[in-house]
Amino acid sequence: MRRLYAFPLSPYCRKVRLALAEKGLSVDLIEIRPWDRAHELVSKNPAAETPVLVEEDGTVVVDSGAICEYLEEVYPDHPLLPRHAAERAEVRRLVAWFDVKFRADVTENILTEKVIRRLKRDGEPDSAFIRVGAANLRNHLEYIAMLADQRNWLAGSALTLADFAAAGHLSCLDYMGAVKWDEFPSAKHWYQRIKSRPAFRAILSDHLPGLPPAAHYGDLDF
């Protein structure tokens, strides 16, 4: 069976899990906390980061971006990239927008402080970072709402990796109850649509011991 080494509240692992599920590819999830630097992980990825995909034939694929491109090349059914180069570039721009900029602006400030610090037992969360993250999140929700108003999905007419990159980050923040959806109805409407997909089910049933999700986290009608 295909295996994915993953930390449940990693936006990058979630992006890959969504891509696998959307393509109908089953996978055994091996839960791992990257900061433990387990030999099992480091021997496959010297960067000691999740996600790492191990195919049935033993092929190891490292890095969420590389995994998504690999899945697209090897399993082209249910494509998550459009056909034309310029449209593919727009998807990749948005994936980088979420995985680099949104991460630095929001995810690092909120998720790292509220969750990772706690799980690593690395002191108390710093509320200054959390406030900065929350302010940046508003700007990003406005941007998502703008895209959702102009397009069927974030990068264009079809569901793509850009939606999964965004949903990876936002679903982790939503687990913590950190997203004020009602203030951004167009962003909420986009998230409702993606949350309702069968590919999302496994993510909505994630539950970290000692760190339960916000009450509305699993609701499709939130």
Residues engaged in binding its own copies (CB under 8 A): 46-47, 59, 61-63, 65-67, 69-70, 73-74, 85-86, 88-89, 92-93, 96-97, 101, 143
HEC string of 30-57 equals EECCHHHCCHHHHCCCCCCCCCEEECCC
- Give Cβ neighbours of residue 77 (< 8 Å, ≥ 6 apart): 23, 24
Nearer to its own copies, 86 or 215 (CB): 86
Q: What's the rounded Cα separation, in Å, for the pair 73 and 187?
A: 30
Q: Residue 76 Cβ, how far from its own copies at the closest point, in Å?
A: 11
Q: Residue 165 Cβ, how far from its own copies at the closest point, in Å?
A: 12
Reported as type and span, the H/E element at residue 28 is strand 28-31
Q: Residue 209 Cβ, how far from its own copies at the closest point, in Å?
A: 29
Nearer to its own copies, 23 or 197 (CB): 23
Nearer to its own copies, 59 or 205 (CB): 59
Residue 79 · residue 147 · CB < 8 Å? no
Range 11-24 burial, b when 16+ CB lie within 10 A, else e: bbbbbbbbbbbbbe
Q: Residue 51 Cβ, how far from its own copies at the closest point, in Å?
A: 12
Residue 51, preceding bond cis, omega within 30 degrees?
yes
User: Quick one: tokens of 138?
Assistant: 């508003």
Q: What's the rounded Cα separation, in Å, for the pair 118 and 121?
A: 5
Residue 76 · residue 172 · CB < 8 Å? no
Residue 5 · residue 67 · CB < 8 Å? no
Nearer to its own copies, 14 or 140 (CB): 140
Nearer to its own copies, 59 or 196 (CB): 59
**Residue 46 CB-density burial (10 A; 0-12 exposed, 13-18 middle, 19+ buried):** exposed
Nearer to its own copies, 24 or 76 (CB): 76
Nearer to its own copies, 18 or 53 (CB): 53
